[in-house]
Structure 1
Amino acid sequence: MSSDTDVSLSSYDDDQGSKLIRKAREAPFVPIGMAGFAAMVAYGLYKWKGTGNTKVSVHQIHRRVAAQCFVVGAMALGMGYSMYQEFWAKPKP
């Protein structure tokens, strides 16, 4: 059997926690977006009981839009950060 068809098992040795930490170091804004999304969902669930006279669906739409803003904002910041690292922070040869 040739060596280039062998599958390296080193990627399978990582458990889920270490894989998450490694991915968070590679893209630091992804966990920030995930935390913002989770916080907005938790806030929406907390505020659900005190909706008053307005419909619950209106509050759900507002919370969904806010959670999406956290995620899209984190993606945009992450992309800007990676562009900065790639083009401006790197010394030119």
Structure 2
Amino acid sequence: MTVMEYEDNESKFMRKAKENPFVPIGMAGFFGIVAYRLYKMKSRGDTKMSVHLIHMRVAAQGFVVGAMTLGVVYSMYKEYILKPAQAQKALEQKAKEK
């Protein structure tokens, strides 16, 4: 393996984060919600522990699914709206040059 083929984990993560920016947002939201709900566990009142944990899991999963959905919509927008528009502009520029 040469030096050019080697890619450390940090640069691989940064490259992947640039390709799909909603993945790190989903991860950050997940950990943020879990940390917040664990902090609030002290003041849960009469709520059973299992119910509190289920609510935490549902909130965290909901955030991740929402981030993934937004990521898919964003990638579809880039692929099916922006690319054809750029291709159309390039064709118009080519036609003007002739």
Same fold (TM over 0.5): yes
Q: Determine if the alignment matches structure 1 residue 56 to structure 2 residue 19.
A: no
2:92 maps to none
1:44 deviates by: 1.3
Within 5 Å, which residues of 2 pair with 1:47-86? Answer: 47-86=40-79
Give the greater-gyration-radius structure (CA).
Answer: 2
1:8 deviates by: 7.6
User: 5+ unaligned residues in a row in structure 2: which ranges?
Assistant: 89-98
After superposition, the C-alpha distances for 1:42-86 in whole angstroms (9 at most, x for unaligned) are 011101111111101111111100000111001100000000000
1:10 deviates by: 4.5
User: 5+ unaligned residues in a row in structure 1: which ranges?
Assistant: 1-6
The percentage of counterpart residues that share the same residue type is 60
Please tell me the root mean square deviation across aligned C-alpha atoms, in Å.
1.7
Partner Cα separation in structure 2 for residue 80 and residue 9 of structure 1: 36
Q: TM-score, normalised by structure 1?
A: 0.83
Q: Which runs of 4+ in 1 moved over 2 A?
A: 7-11
Decide which structure has greater helix share: 2
Partner Cα separation in structure 2 for residue 66 and residue 22 of structure 1: 28
